Amino acid sequence: MILLFGAAVFVHEFGHYWVARRRGMKVEEFAIGFGPKILSWTRDGVLYSWRWIPAGGFVKLPQMITSEAMEGSSSAVDIPPASPLSKILVAFAGPFMNVVFAFVIAAVIYLVGLPELVNPPFIGPVDADSPEAKMGIREGDKVLSVNGEPVKSWQDMQSITMLALTNVLPVVVEREGKTNVYYLTAKVNEEAGVTVKLLNLVPRVHPVIHRVVANGPAEKAGLKEGDEVISFGGVPVLSPDQLIKLIKKNGNIPTDVGIWRAKQKMTIKVTPMLDPDKNCGRIQAEIGSSSKMDYIDKRPGPTPWAQIVDVWQKTVSTIQALFHSKQSGVGISDLSGPPGILAMLAAQIKTDFRLALSFLVLLNINLAILNLLPIPVLDGGHIAIALVESAIRRPIHVRVLEYTTTAFAVLLISFMLYVSFNDFLRFKLFKSMFQSEVRIEKQEKAPADKTEPVLAPSPAPAK
């Protein structure tokens, strides 16, 4: 995890370092991370160091704008100023190397393949009294697009909804080959400590028994933790809420429960106990959704260009959502700092190393875009100031540059601390990523007239 994150920082700083040396500029230090040094060594007059705070890095160039808040004071004296062109080339080299690195990783992914999450956007049970049901949406309908963007998975639906600049979204739904457009209202939900905007729809997933109370009806009947419930009393079950409602209606009534356990279909008879206070049935077991995530191993993976375009589109959508926070509901508090980035990277490594590489493509492109913003202390700020110096044909006073850069460095550090604090509030979300059961199926060769991937045969719940 630290190696991959450090690689993104290293290639960025190496870009600055390499061009600075080629332009004959003075290089004092090359550092990965901030804060106290973990280890350091000096070679050819350059101090190389690895530091404790894995939130970035720097190359100390006294002929560029320095930031004492992040890099410490410079010991260089009487060094001739660098030309504006050299400053621009050095500043641009870091983001450029991140883009090059992203393309290299994307090419590797294309060669080794990439697991793709399989979660078709089929709608689960719809409450009869809900606005969606009154519009005509039914269980089993397939969502084709949301807000004009095509969707392939339930995750696509959620991402598009969260970043939309409105809470009323056109949703194209297919049923028996016919399509209809519905204008659905998204509502704000609290999901694992994160406030998100979601449609009032649930996916078709079978409920799972997470915990069984000792000596309760569920345990006496033989239900076990991890059992996937597919039917109750002959009624197909497609959501935890639906199963709970069926249990409540069958107090003291012996009922057949169809389950999947260890890839085998079984039927168990359960008699829910009648709760006299609430006049409803209970089986004394915790019922939730399956945490299992199914992937299909696609080889070759998407082309490098397709990967970069996808990342670019996601980044632009996120920036638009931030700039239109009132319409989208997405704010600064929804961003992640180094803890969140490292947690996401660790979760991807745990699932499949290629997913971590895919996340690294996203990270490198985002680092390039972020660093090109025309803000002092960032590379875009260096470029902007160099352009000003070129226009006025004289350098800006060094003290003005140092004070300005240090002030923005303090603001940047404060911002990083703020988003990092919010990452710790999302601990439940990150924890759930590590608790998900993952299955990656090999892709069988599809017939020539089909473009959809085919999963290798494996037992699956009856529909």
pLDDT digits (tens, 9 = 90+) for 162-219: 888 888 999 999 998 899 999 999 887 655 445 678 888 877 777 888 889 888 999 9
In this prediction the pTM is: 0.72
Share above pLDDT 90 across residues of the chain, in percent, rounded to a whole number: 26
Token digits for 251? 């107090």
Q: With both helix axes pointing from N to C terminus, report the angle between 338-351 and 353-371 in degrees, rounded to the nearest 10.
A: 150
- Contact yes or no for 98/368 (Cβ under 8 A): yes
The amino acid present at 257, given as its one-letter code, is V
Domains and CATH numbers, the chain: 1-118+291-463 (no CATH), 120-202 (2.30.42.10), 207-289 (2.30.42.10)
- Contact yes or no for 273/217 (Cβ under 8 A): yes
Question: Where would I find the H helices in 113-199?
Answer: 131-135, 154-163
Mean pLDDT (the chain) is: 82
By CB atoms closer than 10 A (0-12, 13-18, 19+), residue 348 is: buried
Reported as a single tens digit per residue, the pLDDT across 27-83 is 888 998 888 889 999 998 889 998 888 777 888 888 776 555 455 555 556 677 788
Reported as a single tens digit per residue, the pLDDT across 232-254 is 888 777 678 778 888 998 888 99
How many other CB atoms are found less than 10 A from the CB of residue 111?
A: 10
Residues 6+ apart with CB under 8 A from 351: 115, 293, 295, 436, 438
- Measured CA to CA, the distance from residue 8 to residue 360 in angstroms comes to 8
- Measured CA to CA, the distance from residue 10 to residue 323 in angstroms comes to 30
- Contact yes or no for 296/118 (Cβ under 8 A): yes
- Measured CA to CA, the distance from residue 300 to residue 370 in angstroms comes to 30
CB burial readout 94-106, b (16+ within 10 A) else e: bbbbbbebbbebb
Instruction: Give the pLDDT band of residue 156 (cuts 50, 70, 90).
Output: confident
Instruction: Give the pLDDT band of residue 306 (cuts 50, 70, 90).
Output: very high
- Measured CA to CA, the distance from residue 160 to residue 169 in angstroms comes to 10
Residues 6+ apart with CB under 8 A from 208: 226, 227, 228, 229, 287, 288, 289, 290, 291
Section 274-296 average pLDDT: 80
Closest Cα to residue 167, out of 192, 181, 151, 187? 187
Section 91-98 average pLDDT: 95
Asked if pLDDT for residue 433 goes beyond 50, the answer is yes
